[in-house]
Amino acid sequence: MVELRDESAPVRLGASAAPREARRGRGATANPSGRYEATRREAFHEADWEPDAPMPLRTRVTAERTNRIIARNTSPDIPFDRSINPYRGCEHGCIYCYARPTHAWLGLSPGLDFESRIFAKPDAARLLARELAAPGYRPDTIALGTATDPYQPVEREHRITRAVLEVLQAARHPVGITTKSDLVLRDLDILAEMAARNLVLVAVSLPTLDPGLARRLDPRAPRPDKRLAAMRSLSAAGVPVMVNLSPIIPGLTDHEIEAILARARESGASRIGHALLRLPGEVADLVADWFAEHYPERKDRAFGLLAQARGGRENDPRFGHRFRGEGPYAAMIGQRVRLAGTRLGFAFGRMALNREAFRKPGAQLALF
């Protein structure tokens, strides 16, 4: 049962905020109210729930209608100025996901709602074709899946990402894809053809090689070995692959940096991206509760090292600092990534993709 309380101060929910059976296969341990809601929810202890109440959460997908699909940004921290996210929310359930607070704008929880209440954009391909055909449009790399994974499980049925790629392929438009899923191999026919024109880069996120830890960190994402296998298949097809070492979690995954990079290089990855754990908005409380349930003995060390890299805070939103951090610990992490990457023959950051081959959708009709 859940009690609604009209309070102005947020409630920090403990690890028992939702019964284990109800959240089997989910990342978050709780479903706290979003910051913009007038009421706050507080769950009673697990033992207080009715014995027949904890049914496993089912994913609900809702169609979202929008007027535009390309989102723009001017952040100096990000190597692209435009992106597409076919879905809001992400069924992978990564506890550390920095996009979780966006569900609060929908009146939903950044906790369990974020990974079970998914909003799909069925008009994405049509809107994209229209925007690419606009008279003032100038091509540059579109980042696909910057907030939520374009190959999360619901993509198997909805195929929105595939439709978006078909538009980009026809327009010969460059795209950078970020994913944790080997479902990306379903679209290898498109990706290989685009790669032959230097139009695509695929970044595969791999924060740990430990399958047990991965099951807790991102419970519905493919296992680490499947992600490495996806890298091998992409690379074999001529698709350039980046290993996205993100997030690096202090005191939990930071010892794996060199091992992850070595395995990724063996699997065909040629570039590196990395970022230190970020805790914007409600993510800080969700991660704290997750540590309290799964790794209570490591919680203080993890948050202590993170505070050292964030100027004494849980999160530092400043440009130039939010992804990498500062201070001795952050510098040490950066040095380890650079040294291991250089030794293994990696390139760093995103590659320049081809903008010159672009053809506006419908432009060929002008020939007739």
Please state the separation of Cα 362 from the chain's center in Å.
33
Rounded Cα distance, 89 and 105, in Å: 12
Distance of CA 318 to CAs 199, 280, 283, Å? 32, 11, 17
Find out whether 103 and 117 touch, Cβ atoms under 8 Å.
yes
Taking a C-beta distance cutoff of 8 angstroms, is the pair 350, 273 a contact?
yes
- Residue 46 in tokens: 């697990």
Nearest C-alpha neighbor of 245 from the set 267, 266, 221, 274: 274
pLDDT tens, residue order, the chain (368 aa):
233 233 333 333 443 356 666 676 787 877 777 766 655 554 444 444 444 555 567 899 999 999 999 999 877 667 778 999 999 999 999 999 999 999 998 999 999 999 999 999 999 999 999 999 999 999 999 999 989 999 999 999 999 999 999 999 999 999 999 999 999 999 999 999 999 999 999 999 999 999 999 999 999 999 999 999 999 999 999 999 999 999 999 999 999 999 999 999 999 999 999 999 999 989 999 999 999 999 999 999 999 999 999 888 877 766 655 666 789 999 999 999 999 999 999 999 788 999 999 999 975 434 33
- DSSP code string of 272-285: EEEEE----TTHHH
The CATH architecture assigned to 64-359 reads: Alpha-Beta Barrel (3.20)
pLDDT of res. 28: 82
- Torsion over CA: 90, 293, 299, 212 (sign): negative
Burial of 157 (0-12, 13-18, 19+ CB in 10 A): exposed
Single out the residue of 67, 70, 147, 68 nearest to residue 105, CA to CA.
Answer: 147
CA–CA gap between residue 338 and residue 340 (Å, rounded): 6
pLDDT confidence of residue 64: 95
Distance in Å from the first CA to the final CA of the chain: 66
> How much is the CA Rg of the chain, to the nearest whole Å?
21
Count of CA atoms in the C-beta half-sphere (13 A) of 225: 3
Q: Looking at residue 366, what is its pLDDT?
A: 40
Whether cis (ω within 30° of 0) applies to the bond prior to 139 is no
Q: In 3-state terms, what secondary structure has residue 247?
A: strand
Parse the chain into domains and list their residue ranges.
Answer: 64-359
Bridge partners, residue 40, by sequence:
5
Is residue 191 within 8 A of residue 202, CB to CB? The reply is yes
CA 100 – CA 206 distance, rounded (Å)? 19
Closest listed residue to residue 160, CA positions, set 112, 105, 199, 118: 118
Check residue 319 and give its pLDDT: 60
Phi-psi region of 29 (alpha: psi -120 to 50; beta: other; left: phi over 0): alpha
The runs of H, that is alpha helices, within 206-282 are 211-217, 224-236, 257-266
Kindly report the pTM of this predicted structure: 0.86
Q: What pLDDT is attached to residue 29?
A: 77
Distances (CA, A) of 232 to 50, 103, 133, 183: 48, 34, 35, 14
Q: Is 364 helix (H, G, I), strand (E, B) or coil?
A: helix
